Amino acid sequence: MSKIIQVEVTDDIFTPATVNILAGDTVQWNFRSFHNVYETVDSSCTVKNTWNSADLSTGTYTQTFANNGTFYYACTVGNHCQMGMKGVVNVGALSSATANNSPATTTSTTTTSISKSNGSKFVVLSTAFYILSSTILFL
Residues 6 or more apart whose CB falls under 8 angstroms from that of 5 comprise 19, 21, 25, 26, 27, 28, 101
Output phi, psi for 27, to 5 deg: -105, 130
* Sequence-ordered strand ranges (E) for 16-102: 18-21, 26-31, 38-40, 47-52, 59-64, 69-74, 86-91
For residue 38, what pLDDT is reported?
A: 98
Superfamily of domain 4-91: Cupredoxins -  blue copper proteins (2.60.40.420)
* Per-residue pLDDT tens over the stretch 55-98: 999 999 999 999 999 999 999 999 999 999 999 999 997 654 34
Identify the three-state secondary structure at position 34. coil
For residue 93, what pLDDT is reported?
A: 73
CATH 2.60.40.420 in the chain is located at 4-91
CB neighbours (10 Å) of residue 38?
20
Whole-model pTM: value is: 0.68
> Is residue 125 over pLDDT 80?
no
For residue 112, what pLDDT is reported?
A: 39
